[in-house]
Structure 1
Amino acid sequence: MSGIDADVIVVGAGIAGLRCAAALRLRGLSVRVLEADAVPGGRIRTDVIDGFRCDRGFQLLNPSYPAVKRHVDVDALDLRVAGRGVRIVDDSGDARTIADPTRHPRLLPETVRSAFGVGLLRPLAVAGAVRWAVPAVGPVRRLAAAPDAALADDWDRLGLRGPLRDSLLAPFLSGVLADGVGDTSDRYVRLVLRSFLLATPGVPNAGMQAFSEQLARTAGVDIAYSTRVEEISDGACPSVRTADGAVVRSRAVVVATDSVDAAALSGSATSPMRGLSTWWFEADGLASDTFLRVSGVGGVVVNTAEMSSIATGYAPPGKTLVQATTLLDDTGPAPETQVRAELDRLWGTTTASWRVITRHDIRRALPRQEPGTPLRRPLQVGERLVFAGDHRDTPSIQGALVSGGRAAARVARLIA
């Protein structure tokens, strides 16, 4: 086909787009990636401010993801893992530790005391939790084919109620799912649980941006940064028009943006997205702690962590960096006074002297995964127009990587 600039144009240098580009190159196809931002990564970015590394949202990389094992050099990222467990803080500010005894054997006595103290070991709730969790450790295909429901409804059905649900599972999963009401697909949440059971997530010592940059380097393709795509024309010889008026032609186009931009560029319906706000504080008065903290009594802060203890590269020497994440909806971010008041309780100290380094309001943090949504959705949305992104698979790094590979395979078949 004459008059083309590349075999395939990939719109977006996020995780899905970079994986797709790498897979296409390995198939011997020429690829041009067009990225609106000045750096790769899409939603996985890190801002360096006054020597602090502040990821755009509280993000973790799970080394147990199969696609991460296949396509990412985790050792080169110098992954630093968090404590395997959580600290549950009650309304009086008492923190109780629930830790995995295989990773933290010295904390076993404290974990047992905490479990009894919080009331996590009520027999009916424990039985319900076991019935809920068992499918997560079975074959993925069986889990994917199982009936689906809203997470909260399935917990009700199984009798998973009380402190085990309200003080541990719900607060922990709220930040992971960007969902405070429990209407996420239970089938998907069990996959999330599976990933946490298999490995402890962490962060690259240089920030999550290091993960994105590694994918961009290994993709080995031409990436045009600061190049926003405004229009896509489908057909036998599809093309894209950029903000500066340039037209780039190809044999196929992969739209690897988030679901909102993908819908706008293609005219095809996609999943809506949930939002999160992440506050980054320069803190003082804290002892080193690698465990995630959650509130056992509710509140706007869904989790908080001392990032400089998990990964020393996140802060200058002698400094402390704390993140706090809240849900973000149409009403806007939570008031700073409310966030600080809850952090006072969660950390057992005053935060009045803590400096806000930055706050990231990420309105498009994760695609919604509603009950009944297939774990894999169709990619081709036009004659030679294909989607890639975590809105086509699961809302996760695993989903983004898998969708990128699937999109490359689909495109290869289209233009063969």
Structure 2
Amino acid sequence: MRTHEAKRNVVVVGAGLAGLACARDLAAGGVPVQLLEAGDAVGGRVRSDRVHGCVIDRGFQVFNTSYPQVKARMDLRALRLSPFTPGVVTHTGDGRLRRLVDPGRRPREARDLLAAGVSPRDLAALGALSARDVFAPAALLRRSGRERTTGAALRRAGFSERFVEEFFRPFLAGVFLEDELETSSRVFHLVWRSMLRGTLCLPADGIGAVPRQLADGLPPGAVRLETAVTALTDDGVLTEGHGELPAAAVVVATGPGVAGRLLPSLTPPPYRTVTTCYHLAPDLRGRGPDLVTDVARRFLNTCVLSEVSPGYAPAGLSLVATSVLGAAAPGTGKALLGPLAEVYGAQTSGWEEVAVRTVEEALPAMTAPWPLSRSTRLEPGRYVCGDHRATGSVQGALASGARAAREVLADLAR
């Protein structure tokens, strides 16, 4: 028989960003909560490792300061954030590097866009698109217009095919992990807005500092690591090695694969896979915190992470992260050395491959029509949250976790 405490206890399965946000809000609402994590640390896909003196994020990561959930929950100063260059560098088909900066942040460099070959027509279209997305209320962007693919939205906005192919397609391939511009136009507009309104950064101690800070706000003992949930039961959850734990409600905040196994009635969306290769290089200091894309699509993007945050590499060395779509084929890191030699104008044969990270459930495939927010209620006493219930972003994961907590608290109060 359940105790009185068990009648209110809530179990959250999965200590990624959604699960952490949900558990924190439940605890703030006065509900006893246990956050069960199968791994050895919190964070889910948002984690960092130390390898040969380097900070190795589990996949290329950026932290956007403009997200409402981030502003409400995070102590940004404590993260010791360092920014990327506000813009992107494109490696063009003729081997040149074309720098496209955000003229709103660096107005003195705005005229360089014309010198870089951006046509007046494309500059005007970029200004109109950006102004609309920056200044229009977010609620309006969520509702306005017919939902299209991102490619159709860009054509409708008046961009030339050349600008789409040389800028938007390679850049957005790294954002949405697909290079066909098939992501929902509403998702695109909201993400574009967030990039223009915020600053893309890295925490000094790696992206894993974000979930650690969230976990620090939970009551002592609320997080149980290395506690895998194997099934949901009528009275709670069944764990591997720890037996059954009672709960009045269970929130599944895992990745889509585990969520689908625990909740057979759930149909998660397809997910995108990405691989990031990390190389140590001796001679890239002073290159700047630039994100570089490739028109030829040999890679999604590359960046000298230690130029963004020096602590990512040992003193005197540079850490380069280069991402490709899909799972890593044998020799992926070595195959990238040729293109990277072109991008960085450096001899790459001596670069040391320190890590390769493949993230199989990196981002939901947010094709139109894509609901920007969904209820987390699945069955009586069963809830599910994560970026697949909102948008594939830190904001989406945190917002979905917050919604799960609100719905659980409302149901328990009945």
Q: TM-score, normalised by structure 1?
A: 0.92
| Partners of 1:155 and 1:186 in 2: CA distance | 9
| One-letter amino acid of the structure 2 residue matched with residue 226 of structure 1 | E
| One-letter amino acid of the structure 1 residue matched with residue 95 of structure 2 | G
Once the two structures are superposed, residues 116-168 of structure 1 have per-residue CA deviations (whole angstroms, 9 ceiling, x without a partner) of 2xxx2252x44554565454231111111122111123223444233321111
Q: Are 1:16 and 1:401, in contact at CA under 8 Å, matched by a contact in 2?
A: yes
Q: Which residue of 1 aligns with 2:269?
A: 271
Q: Which residue of 1 aligns with 2:217?
A: 218
SS at match of 1:194: helix
Q: 1:81-100 to 2 correspondence within 5 Å?
A: 81-100=83-102
| One-letter amino acid of the structure 2 residue matched with residue 41 of structure 1 | G
Q: Are 1:4 and 1:248, in contact at CA under 8 Å, matched by a contact in 2?
A: no
Q: Which residue of 1 aligns with 2:291?
A: 292
Q: Which residue of 1 aligns with 2:405?
A: 408
Residue correspondences, number = 406
| Partners of 1:183 and 1:101 in 2: CA distance | 27
Q: 1:157-172 to 2 correspondence within 5 Å?
A: 157-172=156-171
| Aligned match for 1:318, one of 291, 312, 316 | 316
Q: 1:198-217 to 2 correspondence within 5 Å?
A: 198-217=197-216
Q: Which residue of 2 aligns with 1:175?
A: 174
Q: Are 2:285 and 2:317, in contact at CA under 8 Å, matched by a contact in 1?
A: no
Q: Are 1:93 and 1:348, in contact at CA under 8 Å, matched by a contact in 2?
A: no
Once the two structures are superposed, residues 237-287 of structure 1 have per-residue CA deviations (whole angstroms, 9 ceiling, x without a partner) of x41111226101111001011222212211111222101101111012224
Q: Are 1:3 and 1:249, in contact at CA under 8 Å, matched by a contact in 2?
A: no
| Partners of 2:133 and 2:112 in 1: CA distance | 27
Q: Which residue of 2 aligns with 1:362?
A: 359
| One-letter amino acid of the structure 2 residue matched with residue 262 of structure 1 | A
CA drift of 1:181 comes to 1.3
SS at match of 1:206: coil
Unaligned runs of 5+ in 2: none
Residues 130, 371 of structure 1: CA spacing in aligned structure 2 closer, same or farther, 3 A cutoff? farther
Residues 106, 131 of structure 1: CA spacing in aligned structure 2 closer, same or farther, 3 A cutoff? closer
CA drift of 1:113 comes to 1.7
Indicate yes or no: 2:78 matched with 1:80: no
Aligned CA RMSD, in angstroms, stands at 2.0
| One-letter amino acid of the structure 1 residue matched with residue 296 of structure 2 | G
Residues 367, 203 of structure 1: CA spacing in aligned structure 2 closer, same or farther, 3 A cutoff? same
Q: Are 1:260 and 1:273, in contact at CA under 8 Å, matched by a contact in 2?
A: no
SS at match of 1:219: coil
After TM superposition, the structure 1 stretch with the greater mean CA deviation from structure 2, 135-144 or 269-278, is: 135-144
Indicate yes or no: 2:19 matched with 1:17: yes
| Partners of 1:413 and 1:105 in 2: CA distance | 49
| One-letter amino acid of the structure 2 residue matched with residue 307 of structure 1 | L
| Partners of 1:287 and 1:132 in 2: CA distance | 35
Q: Are 1:19 and 1:219, in contact at CA under 8 Å, matched by a contact in 2?
A: no
Unaligned runs of 5+ in 1: none
Q: Are 2:282 and 2:316, in contact at CA under 8 Å, matched by a contact in 1?
A: no
Q: Are 2:69 and 2:395, in contact at CA under 8 Å, matched by a contact in 1?
A: yes
CA drift of 1:334 comes to 7.6
| One-letter amino acid of the structure 2 residue matched with residue 392 of structure 1 | R
Q: Which residue of 2 aligns with 1:350?
A: 347
SS at match of 2:368: coil
Once the two structures are superposed, residues 208-256 of structure 1 have per-residue CA deviations (whole angstroms, 9 ceiling, x without a partner) of 111111011012251110111110125xxx4111122610111100101
Residues 60, 249 of structure 1: CA spacing in aligned structure 2 closer, same or farther, 3 A cutoff? same
| One-letter amino acid of the structure 1 residue matched with residue 349 of structure 2 | A
| One-letter amino acid of the structure 2 residue matched with residue 216 of structure 1 | A
Q: Which residue of 2 aligns with 1:32?
A: 34
CA drift of 1:413 comes to 1.3
Q: Which residue of 2 aligns with 1:227?
A: 227
| Partners of 1:135 and 1:376 in 2: CA distance | 22
Indicate yes or no: 2:57 matched with 1:59: no
Q: TM-score, normalised by structure 2?
A: 0.93
| Partners of 1:110 and 1:333 in 2: CA distance | 40
Q: Which residue of 2 aligns with 1:187?
A: 186
SS at match of 1:76: helix
Once the two structures are superposed, residues 345-402 of structure 1 have per-residue CA deviations (whole angstroms, 9 ceiling, x without a partner) of 2212231111111000111101111101110012101110011111111111011111
Q: Which residue of 2 aligns with 1:281?
A: 279
| Partners of 1:82 and 1:280 in 2: CA distance | 18
SS at match of 1:83: coil
Q: Which residue of 2 aligns with 1:391?
A: 388
Q: Are 2:25 and 2:402, in contact at CA under 8 Å, matched by a contact in 1?
A: yes
